[in-house]
Structure 1
Amino acid sequence: MSQWDKSEVQSVSADITDKPNALPAEYFTDPDVFEMEKEKVFGQYWIYAGHSNCISEPGEFFTRTVGGRQLIIVRDHDGDVKAFDNVCAHRGSKMVEDTPMTDPGNAKRIKCPYHLWTYDLDGNLQSTPKSFEEATLNPDLEDEEVHEFDSKENGLNDVHVDTIGPFIFVNLDDDPMPLEEQAGSMKEDLEALPLSEYEHARRIVSEVECNWKVFSSNYSECDHCQANHQDWVKGLQLAESELEVNDYHWILHYTHKEDVDDEMRIHDEHEAQFYYFWPNFTVNMYGTADGYGTYIIDPIDKGRFQLIADYYFKDADLSEEDEEFIRTSRQLQEEDFELVERQWQGLKTGALAQAQLGPNEHTVHRFHQLAQEAYNS
């Protein structure tokens, strides 16, 4: 039940059919929780980094910040994708400038501009300037006494990388669970689709005034759709739709009244499919055009996040149908932004200590369980 008194707050219920407790409100509003999430959530789970089609050639790279750490995602000379902290092994300088996936850089080597330490695409130290080989300015040290920098021991700090189809994921943990374990059946589902054949066509980035978990919770249910997405639901048969919950992902299956010819189908020719992958990645197949979208729900601080929406089609030159796909997606985003910012205004007053969930919010319940499990780990 809803709690107005903080002393009555309980843990997220084990089963939504028992006491359908939501995550206590303080876990949305407390700045210390946001700092904890950098380690407990974004520091131990697999996080979506970007699309492999955007770095198709050796030397192409982009940067991505996860859990407060900026990473370099690069394709090496063997064609493999690697990830490294964007931090020089010499004295900790940031090396490359912020580089979005949609406008990747290209480099044969990774060079730190501070003291020109240079690394190969496997992260090994390749060279240092002559000043690191000779003690010219140090009267207490002879040149032959200068120690040699081992290429591997002084290499970049590498980060675990794995993929689902063209989707690149990174994990900051020293010993993470396998990506296939976290992804479950989603991996097989998505790899059965021709996702790699689609080109990146559009990116829309929005800054929203609310905690990232508020938006994630809203995305994960459709009880709000009838009242707030009226244009979209006209084409759906909501009574025949389904919200499927798995360990670390859930799927929103929406049944369309009419069919469209596209290849982004797994279960049913009349079905739109929205995948949410804990903690902050979605894959969206609307069932109204031959394409798909992804969202990164990227936290900025406790009260702001960026929604990074990317769209993929068979041809980067968009048809009217493709443009309509993006317009529909954008309309749903803007309608949701209004909802979640309103919820955030209420939550941050501190009046409500703990919300409750409805019977069709079992996907939200699972999201809140995972957040609580991460905090307690």
Structure 2
Amino acid sequence: MTQEIFDWPNRELEAAQTLPSRYFFDPAIFDAEKRAIFYKAWHFACHPNEIEEPGQFVVVDIFDQSVIIVRGRDGEIRAFHNVCQHRGNRLVTERRGHVRTFVCAYHAWTYGLGGELRGAPRTERLEGFDKSKFGLKAVRVEYFAGFVYFNLYEDAAPMTNLFPGAEAYFLDLCPDIKDMRLDSEEDMVVPVNWKVIVDNAIESYHVMLSGPCHKELADFLDFEKDLPICRGNWWTLGGPVKPGLDKMFGVPIGDEPYQTETYMNWWLFPATCLYFVPYTDLVSTFLIIPTGPEETFVRFGYYTPNRPETKITSACKDWMNGGLGPEDIELNLTVQKGLKSFGFDQGRYMIDAERSAESEHAVHHFHNLVHGALTSHQ
């Protein structure tokens, strides 16, 4: 692949022009992103309470790679490549489950929860067969900010090194993280490039200017303090509500429990977002997994403490699912179509000197991370 494909003219911050449009549909660039970014990234797996008992597991797919995250009999959480070590059959096809052992549906090779090969029919007939050499291949796992993450790359830097300060920031926003449980999860495939979705989600320039739910969001946010802040490989977007606010989503703000008084999107590069809506008793996940140059798998999750749902929390979920989310998806779709136009290649970021709530400096920062990963990988 020639270096010219990654050229990004006029990228200096104060007068920067956006990534060339080919970054959002070129198969060669997408293939490079798979190798340089996503195969080496830390990926969100689950909350520990999702696999609370020995044998409970979740499966996460990243392109052609599939990973099992499972609670062992010793209480430890481990991850393994989801593939039998006999003939390469995909071992588990379910998203979630609860097992005593993992049994391959092809030839019944059986693995313990620690990945060890427990049984393999007729291998006693093989000379020198050593079961200890045919266990499942391990994948790196870390606990970070109350959740479980995995990395396919053995030499990846620890998350605390890659995202300094991010864990403490998150835990301050979510005091009930240890008690959180998955309330609901929804998957969808959106026919756009993954960066289109991230770009839309990390700038507030469009919030007061697009659909009715976005304008409603602007009505309760204090935009003078709603600032995108770039912190290296992680960044935040959000701020407090307007002074004197007494209701949200048509529901009075009362004495019900909540996580934070701040609206906040908390991002880890490349595409993991957890976010908070003020006065709601939940933390939401927004996981972006590209599946093609112009196709992205998106997984939304709601995690709530183990107590009755509050009225504002319920109203917020309805508002997100039925209003704000669909408005953003529609914007994603029309942007992807426009990026293919012969009449467009680069635009101008709206980056003001104040780095205000409406500035797109976080989008420029994100594009720099993508560009840097691609060019350093060559």
Q: How many residues align?
A: 350
Whether contact under 8 Å (2:47, 2:181) holds in the other structure is: no
Q: Does 1:227 align with 2:209?
A: yes
Q: Is 1:36 equivalent to 2:56 in the alignment?
A: no
Residue type of the partner of 1:29? Answer: F
What residue is the counterpart of 2:120 in the other structure?
128
Matched with 2:143 is 163
Q: Give the Å deviation of 1:314.
A: 2.3
Contact 1:201 1:318 in 2 (8 A): no
Residue 327 of structure 1 pairs with residue 318 of structure 2: yes
Distance 1:8 1:272, change over 3 A: closer
Distance 1:183 1:9, change over 3 A: closer
Mark the CA change 1:172 to 1:263 in structure 2 (over 3 Å): closer, same or farther. same
Which residue does 1:10 correspond to in 2? 8
1:86: how far off?
Answer: 0.7
Choose between structure 1 and 2 for higher RCO, CA contacts under 8 A separated by at least 6 residues.
Answer: 1
The alpha-carbon distance between structure 1 residues 351 and 168, as it changes in their structure 2 partners (threshold 3 A), is farther
Cα deviation, residue 320, structure 1:
2.9
Q: Distance in 1 between matches of 2:326 and 2:350?
A: 24
Indicate the residue corresponding to 2:106 in structure 1. 114
SS in 1 for 2:108: coil
Please give the secondary structure, in 2, of the residue aligned with 1:234: helix
In structure 1, C-alpha distance between the alignment counterparts of 2:344 and 2:304, rounded to whole Å = 43
The code of the aligned residue for 2:199 comes to S
Give the whole-Å Cα distance in 2 for the aligned partners of 1:275 and 1:9. 29
Q: Structure 2 length as normaliser, TM-score?
A: 0.87
CA contact (8 A) 1:208 1:305 kept: yes
Which of 18, 25, 46 lines up with 2:21 in the alignment?
A: 25
Q: Pairwise mapping of residues 45-84 of structure 1 onto structure 2 (< 5 A)?
A: 45-84=41-80
Between 1:79-88 and 1:298-307, the stretch displaced more is 298-307
Residues 297-308 of structure 1 mapped to structure 2, 5 A cutoff: 297-308=288-299
Contact 1:200 1:312 in 2 (8 A): yes
| 2:142 partner amino acid | D
Unaligned runs of 5+ in 1: 1-5, 136-145
CA distance in 2, matches of 1:8, 1:55: 41
Task: Give distance in 2, aligned partners of 1:8 and 1:174.
Answer: 27
Q: Partner letter of residue 349 of structure 2? A: L
- 1:228-259 Cα offsets, whole Å, 9 max, x none, are 21122111221222111111111112221227
The counterpart of 1:181, out of the listed 161, 181, 204, is 161
Q: What letter matches 2:225 in structure 1?
A: E
Task: Indicate which of 323, 335, 338 corresponds to 1:343.
Answer: 335
Classify the secondary structure of the residue corresponding to 2:88.
coil
**2:264 corresponds to:** 273
Paired AA for residue 223 in structure 1: Y
Q: Secondary structure at the match of 2:208?
A: helix
- CA shift at 1:369, angstroms? 0.9
2:273 is the alignment partner of 1:282? yes
For residues 67 and 205 of structure 1, do their structure 2 counterparts lie closer, same or farther at Cα, with a shift above 3 Å needed?
closer
CA drift of 1:8 comes to 12
**Which of 210, 219, 226 is equivalent to 2:192?**
210
Structure 2 contact 79–140 (Cα < 8 Å) conserved = yes
What CA distance in whole angstroms lies between the structure 2 residues aligned with 1:166 and 1:305? 26
C-alpha change, 1:210 and 1:316, in structure 2 (3 Å) is farther
C-alpha contact 1:215 1:340 (8 A) present in aligned 2: yes
Residue 149 (1) aligns with residue 147 (2): no
User: 2-side partners of 1:316 and 1:199: how far apart?
Assistant: 10
2:355 aligned residue: none
Would you say 1:238 and 2:223 are equivalent positions? yes
Q: CA deviation at 1:11?
A: 5.0
Asked if structure 2 preserves the Cα contact closer than 8 Å seen for 1:285 and 1:293, the reply is yes
Using structure 1 for the length normalisation, give the TM-score. Answer: 0.87
**How big is each residue's C-alpha offset from its partner over 1:41-60, in whole Å with a ceiling of 9 and x where there is no partner?**
11112111222211111110
Q: Tell whether 2:238 aligns with 1:253.
A: yes
CA gap of 1:244–1:127, structure 2 versus 1, over 3 A, is same
Moved over 6 A (4+): none
Paired amino acid for 2:237: L
- RMSD across aligned C-alpha pairs, in angstroms? 2.1
1:352 is aligned to 2:332 = no
Equivalent residues of 1:59, 1:108 under 8 A apart: yes
- Pair 1:326–1:316, CA change in 2 (3 A): farther
